[in-house]
């Protein structure tokens, strides 16, 4: 999360001053962020980590099929790695990773700082956010996106959600413009465009 926050700061303050070989003009005052799966959680983390660093959060966030509620038991198996990182070579020499559920679970105090839903319900999240999730996701339950969308609206944060019926985790990979995944992506990028 620190790296993503540093990247936003770089995009806002340094990137606009780099001479590009094209006519593209970078405006650091108008930044949006997109993330897929765990990258979606990282994108969403900018809503509360950027202000902690006295940096304006992105104007909007687009998050695809990402975990948003780390207090949900369905994310328990990934929490030790998400929060603590992969074990070092030295620490992992005696560690059996055949059963990821055997890794020690982080405490609630460690979970809350990286859980989008926890930050939303605590009033620390004000960034307009659009989420896309397949209803047949085999990695992250779509209900997390639905619950997070509902919480955003309850807190008065502008939000959008498209649930792609029957789609699995990578619900946005279709190259068919008539597919529901394609249409969802267009809605997400339209949401971002409306904020820059």
Which residues face 164 on adjacent strands? Answer: 134
- Whether the pLDDT of residue 22 is over 80: the answer is yes
| Segment among 4-8, 12-16, 71-75, 159-163 with least mean pLDDT | 71-75
pLDDT in tens, 74-127: 766 677 777 777 666 665 555 555 665 567 788 889 889 999 999 999 999 999
Q: How high is the pLDDT of residue 9?
A: 97
**Where does the pLDDT of residue 73 fall: very low under 50, low under 70, confident under 90, or very high at 90 and above?**
confident
- Residue spans per domain, the chain: 2-7+27-82+103-193
pLDDT number for residue 83: 76
Query: CB of 37 within 8 A of CB of 66?
Result: yes
With a CB cutoff of 8 Å and minimum separation 6, the contacts of 92 are 86
- Sheet harboring 32-36: ordered strands across? 32-36, 60-64, 129-134, 159-164
- Of 29-43, 59-73, 103-117, 119-133, the range with the lowest mean pLDDT is 103-117
Residue 44 has pLDDT above 80, yes or no: yes
CATH no., domain 2-7+27-82+103-193: 3.40.50.1820
């Amino acid at each position: 999360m620190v790296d993503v926050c540093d990247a936003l700061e770089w995009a806002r303050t340094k990137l606009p001053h780099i001479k590009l070989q094209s006519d593209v003009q970078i405006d650091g005052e108008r930044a949006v962020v997109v993330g897929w799966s765990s990258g979606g959680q990282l994108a969403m983390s900018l809503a509360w980590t950027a202000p902690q660093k006295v940096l304006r959060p992105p104007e909007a966030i687009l998050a695809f099929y990402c975990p948003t509620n780390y207090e949900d038991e369905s994310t328990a198996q990934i929490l030790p790695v998400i929060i603590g990182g992969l074990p070092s070579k030295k620490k992992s020499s005696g560690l059996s990773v055949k059963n990821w559920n055997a890794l020690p679970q982080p405490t609630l105090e460690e979970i809350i700082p990286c859980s989008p839903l926890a930050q939303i319900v605590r009033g620390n999240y004000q960034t307009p956010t659009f989420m896309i999730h397949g209803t047949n996701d085999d990695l992250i339950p779509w209900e997390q996106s639905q619950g997070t969308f509902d919480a955003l609206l309850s807190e008065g944060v502008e939000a959008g959600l498209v649930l792609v019926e029957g789609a699995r985790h990578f619900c946005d990979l279709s190259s068919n413009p008539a597919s529901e995944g394609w249409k969802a992506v267009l809605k997400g990028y339209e949401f971002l465009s409306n904020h820059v």
